[in-house]
Every structure is written in structure tokens, then in C-alpha cells.
Structure 1
Amino acid sequence: MTNAVDIHEPVPAAELARLDARFPARSVTVAGGASVSVRECGTGPVLVCLHGIGSGSASWVDTAQLLAGEARLIAWDAPGYGSSTPLAADAPKAADYAQRLGALLEALDIDRCVLVGHSLGALMAAAAARRGSPLAARIAKLLLISPAAGYGAPGRAEAQARVRAERLDTLAQLGIAGMAAKRSSRLVSEHASETARQWVRWNMARLNERGYRQAVALLCGGDLLADLPSAMPVRVACGALDVVTTPETCAEVAKHCGVPLELLPHAGHASYVEQPAAVAALLRETLAA
């Protein structure tokens, strides 16, 4: 395994200090003894935010700060990310992540929240919010941002095999740091600031290999549309310049839910890192609606 570039500390020290001071990580022990790493900021109605496959809880720092006076934003590190305990199965399902999320909400005594899923986090969020889910009663609204549809639907076996091979081959050849160097630039648009680019690389460089392999299994085996429409109101948004989950593919998800796709101008895939003010406005509207 080759680590092509050492980018473990690309974010300026002042930015890291801001993260630790205003959006610090802590571990929450949930039912069964597992640990979930979370960051939170603010007071008010609760927003629970789930990151994508190449990210982590810290990616929500700017959005959280913008909403600190209006909402309590909680971002988790998904199982196998950060210091969160991985799931037991090598190839977990979206329902397994949703179950861990439910244990976290129970441990934090959260009876009602708006659930936000970005990219792969959308698969987890939709499983939690599906009709018949024991978590549905805790979720007031569902917001999917640049949702990953997954490759587990019937007829997608060829694409599933290709994506699995591409992801795992890249991991084997480059390692986590090399992946961050090579892939992180695809997550933002040409409009992204250098600080946004640094945060995207920083988050990706901190992936854990086992958690990432489990997430690849979810991406390849998941089927977002099978869990949609949700049991509660849903909104679907996408960066207008997203080249990962494109506006065209996100429009199909929105159409399936019977809602319009909402585009975030001048934003790529990691919109809440690149354009946090636009995402904060979207969350603010969702809370108020």
C-alpha cells in the first residue's frame, strides 16, 4: 500500500482550534456498549446530520456555527468513522446504520428532530425514516442533500461490481491519505475556497479503513428508492455543480418522492463545506416550514 502524499494536517492551526473550541467531538455510549462520536453546537430544535462516505462529523462545523442561535445541530461520525465503533457485519445494510442511529437518539434523549442525510448518509437517513421504521416517530422531516442512490436495485449488478472494484482498488493502491489527495477535489466545484478544499481533504484523510470498507459495501448494496417516499415530509437538494451525485440523478430521487429538486448555486458535492451559508438557509427553511 502506498501513501502517495502526506496530507494529514492540511488545515491551518487556527481552523483546527476553532473546530475544537466550537464544535468539539465527544463519545456517547449507546445500548449494547457501542460508542458513537458526535459533535454538536447550538440550542433549539434538533438537526441530526449524517455525512457522506468520504467525510466525517467535522465537515458540518461551519453550517453548525451559522445556526448556533437557532438550532441544536448534532453531527455523528458514522459507525467505523472517527472514534465510532464499527458495525459487526463486514457488509452492513442501511438498516444496520439506522439501528445505531436510533440507539444514539435514545442515548441523547432526542424525541424529535429533522434528519439530514448527505450522499451516503442519505441511504442511512432514508432507512431510518422509511414507513414502518421504529425511528420514524422521532423524525419530523427528512432532508436529503446530494443523495447517493446506491447500486443494490435490481438490474444494477454490473454497476455494483464496477463501483466496488474501483473503490477498493483505489484504497489498495493509494491508502487513505493517497485517496484523499486524489479524490477530494471532485467533491467541490471551481468556486470553492482554499479553506473548503483543505477541510474536504482533512476529513477524507482521517477515514478508517474498516469503516470505509463497510461504507463501500453499503454504497454497492444499498437501494435508496426502496426506502422512499419517507414516512414524513421530505426535501431533496443538490449542489448545482455536483459531479458525484449529479443534479440529473438527484432529480430522479426528488421525482420519486413527489417533490421538486432544490439546487444549491455554486456548490459541488460537499455543499455544506463549500457553501455552508446556502445549506444553513436550507436547514433554516426546513425547520420553519
Structure 2
Amino acid sequence: MSAADSAGILTLPSGARLAVKRWGKGAPVLCLHAVGHGSGDFADLAGRLGGAFELIAIDWPGMGCSPSDGLPVRADRFGGLILEVVEALRLERPFMIGNSIGGAAAIIAAAAAPGRFAGLVLCNPGGLAPLDGPARFVIGRMAAFFRAGARGAAWFPTAFAAYYRFLVLSRGPARARRQRVVAAGRELAPMLADAWAGFSEPTGDLRPIAPKLTLPVWLAWTEGDHLVSWGRARATVAGMPLHRVTLFRGGHSAFLEDPEAFAASFRTFAADVQTGRFQ
């Protein structure tokens, strides 16, 4: 692995150190996870895609196996890290799959350097809905919820488990990943509070950027998501020059919750991009 040590840690020019996992051979696919998750989210997808693709999954700073750098959890910063990763690993026009903040970061990176990527897969990304009064209220309540967890509120583990079970990863195929996240709830609470606070900042609003995406974009949205809902993002998505939308079963991550259907649809998307049929 170029620029990586034997532990799979990639050191970037900015000083960030990111854990990297790679599976398979073929067209490169850079995989970007949600806050509090990790590169392991994409292990099942790698198995389903067989030998046609190489999946390269990174862990954001302080998540998975990546050491923390003490900096805020923000999509604009992660977007810059993506460009550094592509350069450091010498990836030739990879596809990107980004979930939640990973999707927001992918939008930022693709808008900054569209020629570096073959296509963009957005799984319930942040930043595409209006930052209006209702949105700011929900963001504020979610940040307060996680701040309470960080303070050690006795009720938090039970509430966090219910939140993940009913609002985030609601379907059976995602059970193992859900259990891993829930078990680390108290540890993740400060990071999640920080991330949610950032969603209301000006840099968290990606609506001005989205129409500038000139590469093929596939929105793979789980329709059970009540916090990052398709209905509130639809108007922004309509302004993207080259896009298609597929709605999947689940709460927040189509590739975890509806894995067979997602993998089949990804193969179609990639083939259409590679052959110039994407419209």
C-alpha cells in the first residue's frame, strides 16, 4: 500500500493518519462511512461484488482503527482528506460510495475535482436538505441528545439502542453492524454531538455545491430515513446535471440494510458509467 505502514495506516501530507482496508481486484471503489462507523461497513459489499471491483475503505480520524487528531468532525475537512487519499494511493478515477457524512464529504471532493472520479454513489448524504427552522430544531435536539450521552446520562445506552434500532439501521441484514455501534454508544457520544453541531454550520449546507457536480451521480436512498429524508433532499437532487435515484428498504444505509439489491444496482450503475450509457 503506497505511503502506508505495515499496520495499514496511511499517513497523508496534511498529517492525518487513516486506516485503510482493501478487498478484491478490478475497478477501484473508494468507500466512505458514517460518523461512528468504520471501514468494516463495506466488508459484506466487497464479498458481493466479487472480482470485478477493488473496494478501498478508509476510517475517518478517531473512528474505526484510525487514531484521533482532535479536530472537529466536519464534512468539508473529510472532503479534503478524500483528495489526499486518492493522490496518496494513486487511485485512477475511482467510484466513490459515501454514506451520511461520508456522502457529504464525497460531494465536496467530487465538486472540487470532478475529473478525479468515475462516478459518485450517495447513500443518504447530509447537506442536501434546507437548513430551515425545523432542520435546525432537529439538529439541535440530536446534538443535545449526544451531549447528554457524553455526560454519562443513565438513560442514554437504552435510548441510543432504540435510536439505532428504529431510525438508523432498522433491517435484519444490518443487525451485526448495529450491535457493534450500539455497544460503543458512550464512547461515540462526544463525537456524534460534535458532528451534529456541525451540520447546522454554513459549511454543512451543500445545496449550492450539488448542481455543480458534473460526473454521474447515483442516489441510493433508504426510504425509512426520518432524519436525512429523501423528501427534503429531492429538490436539491433534481438540480444535479447527471443523476439517477433508487429507493431502498431501510433506515440510513442501503448497502447494509438491503445489501443484495444494492449490490445488483451498483453493478448496473458502474457498467452504465463505464460504457457511456449513464444518462
Q: What's the TM-score, normalizing by structure 2? A: 0.79
| Contact 1:251 1:261 (8 Å CA) reproduced | no
| Contact 2:129 2:236 (8 Å CA) reproduced | no
| Contact 2:36 2:188 (8 Å CA) reproduced | no
Aligned mates of 1:76, 1:28 — CA distance in 2: 9
RMSD across aligned positions (CA): 2.8
Aligned-pair CA distance for 1:160: 4.3
Partner of 2:192: 212
Aligned mates of 1:72, 1:51 — CA distance in 2: 16
2:210 to 191, 210, 228: 228
**Cα–Cα, structure 1 residues 263 and 288, in superposed 2: closer, same or farther, change >3 Å?**
same
3-state SS of 2:50 partner = coil
**Are 1:73 and 2:55 counterparts?**
yes
Partner of 1:263: 247
Q: Percent of pairs identical after alignment?
A: 27
The within-5 A match list for 1:1-289 is 26-87=8-69, 89-90=71-72, 93-130=74-111, 133=112, 135-149=113-127, 153=131, 157-172=136-151, 173=153, 180-185=160-165, 186-189=167-170, 192-193=171-172, 196-206=174-184, 208=188, 211-221=191-201, 222-229=204-211, 230-258=213-241, 259-264=243-248, 266-289=249-272
| Contact 1:250 1:261 (8 Å CA) reproduced | no
Q: What's the TM-score, normalizing by structure 1? A: 0.77
Partner of 1:12: none
Aligned mates of 2:22, 2:158 — CA distance in 1: 29
Paired amino acid for 2:238: K
Size of the aligned set, in residue pairs, is: 257
Provide structure 1 residue ranges, at least 5 long, that are not aligned to the other structure: 1-24
Aligned-pair CA distance for 1:210: 5.3
| Contact 2:149 2:156 (8 Å CA) reproduced | no
**Cα–Cα, structure 1 residues 286 and 175, in superposed 2: closer, same or farther, change >3 Å?**
farther
Question: Taking CA–CA contacts closer than 8 Å with sequence separation of 6 or more, which of the two structures ends up with the larger relative contact order?
Answer: 1
